[in-house]
Amino acid sequence: MTMPIDNRKTLSIIGAGNLGRSLGRLWNEHGIFRIADIVTRTPGSAAQATAFIGAGRAVAGLQGLVGADITLIATGDDQLPLVCAQLAATGHWHSGQIVFHCSGALTSAVLAPAANAGASIASIHPIRSFAQPNQVLGSFAGTWCGVEGQALALAVLNPAFQAIGGRLVTILAEHKTLYHAAAVIASNYLVTLADAALQAYEGAGVPREQALQMLQPLMHNTMDNIFRAGPEAALSGPVARGEWQMVDRQQEALAAYRPALGEFYGQLAQHTARLAQGRKQK
């Protein structure tokens, strides 16, 4: 009996951590790519990655990597340019290949050694956490992905991400640092704001566990207002009302409790004042 020909493009993944193995499994389960080599530093981790993905050949180290149509370099940002350059030095890259990464901080330009050898390069950054791969599998649909790179690569990669539910937004490569900073502000620094509020509640005698319960509806309601009406319309409080004596008293109280917290509050108040002023001018 003649076996059917699998015309799917082959995909190798270098650095199959949480992101690499999550995307690999999604593409494998949706039949988008034929999974080729899964490269990690040790045989054990490579075997674990292939088991999770459900396909592929476990490879420990770059020396065993076989060429594929598409290569995802999913190492840490500090290793990504080095891995691409090492493979270029061995003549691994060639015309017709697609090479991409999913870093939010680096542009596709770090893959220049592959492009110089004739490969097409791109960067597609899913704006989400991959800390729990099993959870990602059921919730990736709807994930926004920042996209930039060469047209030939994106002609293949964009539909591949869309097929697993990705929502694509084109970004300017020269301003990718700003793009990544936006995600850091919205995600990481939101945690910092919550912690600052908790510190102030604790200074007022509210136990931390109870303070967390108090913050939850307040922050949820604020976020709902932001996404319903926009930041300017969602703004409330003493700065929005122009109650600067109140703002000064609050900053002084925070500074007396914890000087760094008072300084932080003052910086936030300045940025909030500009937001409030912009609302008044409209």
Collapse the DSSP code of 31 into the 3-class scheme (helix H, G, I; strand E, B; otherwise coil) and give the result. coil
Q: What is the CATH number of domain 10-171?
A: 3.40.50.720
pTM: 0.86
pLDDT higher for 6 or 116? 116
Q: What angle do CA 46, 166, 36 make, to 5 degrees?
A: 30
User: What is the band of 252 on the pLDDT scale with cuts at 50, 70, 90?
Assistant: very high
Question: Does residue 98 contact residue 159 with C-beta atoms inside 8 Å?
Answer: no
pLDDT at 6: 75
CATH superfamily for domain 179-280: ProC-like, C-terminal domain (1.10.1040.20)
CA distance 36 to 245: 65
Report the pLDDT averaged over residues 77-104: 97
- Tell the residue number behind the tokens 């598409």, with chain if given: 70
Domains 10-171 and 179-280 alike in fold: no
Q: Domain coordinates of the chain in residue numbers?
A: 10-171, 179-280
Element containing residue 132 per DSSP (H, E)? none
pLDDT at 109 over 80: yes
CA distance 159 to 27: 11
pLDDT at 7: 85
Over the stretch 182-212, which tens digit does the pLDDT of each residue have? 999 998 999 999 999 999 999 999 999 999 9
pLDDT at 237 over 90: yes
pLDDT at 278: 78
CA distance 14 to 68: 12
pLDDT at 98 over 60: yes
Over the stretch 8-22, which tens digit does the pLDDT of each residue have? 999 999 998 999 999
The single-letter code of the amino acid at 31 is: G
pLDDT at 229 over 70: yes
pLDDT at 2: 54
Give the whole-number percent of the chain exceeding pLDDT 70: 97
Question: What is the DSSP secondary structure assignment for residue 6, as one 8-state letter?
Answer: -
Collapse the DSSP code of 275 into the 3-class scheme (helix H, G, I; strand E, B; otherwise coil) and give the result. helix
* Alpha carbon 114 to chain centroid, angstroms: 23
266 Cβ contact list (under 8 Å, min separation 6): 251
Report the pLDDT averaged over residues 173-180: 94
CA distance 243 to 203: 23
Report the pLDDT averaged over residues 135-162: 98
Over the stretch 23-77, which tens digit does the pLDDT of each residue have? 999 999 999 999 999 999 999 999 999 999 999 999 999 999 999 999 999 999 9
pLDDT at 281 over 70: no
pLDDT at 125: 97
As to burial, measured by CB atoms within 10 angstroms (0-12 exposed, 13-18 middle, 19+ buried), residue 168 is middle
Report the pLDDT averaged over residues 153-164: 98
